[in-house]
Amino acid sequence: MEKVCFKTQKGPAAVGPYCTAAIAGDTIYMSGMIGVDPAVQKPVEGGTLEQAKQVFSNIRTVLGELGATMDDVLKTTVYLTDMGEFAAVNALYAEAFGPNFPARTCVEVSKLPMGLSIEVECIARVHR
């Protein structure tokens, strides 16, 4: 099975040596998305909730470039620097992915790139 390295044209640029998503067969393995505004390639102003809104928007944008939607997401991993933000992020997550939710893991980490407080990676299906 061939691996295709996809680099977004509409979402935030990678902050390191990786692709936005790797595609193998009918599966998209999306790199972690952070709260960076792709128009200016800088973190959004505000706290975790504003970042989360941007993260979900970025995921939606990249999936759209690949011909997929939020409903095609099978699994997510959510990284938070403060698990005290879980309930508020959970409400935004429900709006972004519901009602046919993907499987999910959520963990607290000490730090994330660019000093941000949330990162979300996902696995989705490709429509061919």
Q: Is 5 considered catalytic here?
A: no
| Side chain identity, residue 110 | S
Which residue in 5, 19, 106, 122 is the catalytic one? 106
Question: Which residues on neighbouring strands pair with residue 77, listed in sequence order?
Answer: 105, 121
Listing DSSP states for 41-98 in one string gives TEEPSSSHHHHHHHHHHHHHHHHHHTT--GGGEEEEEEEES-GGGHHHHHHHHHHHH-
Residues acting as catalytic residues:
106
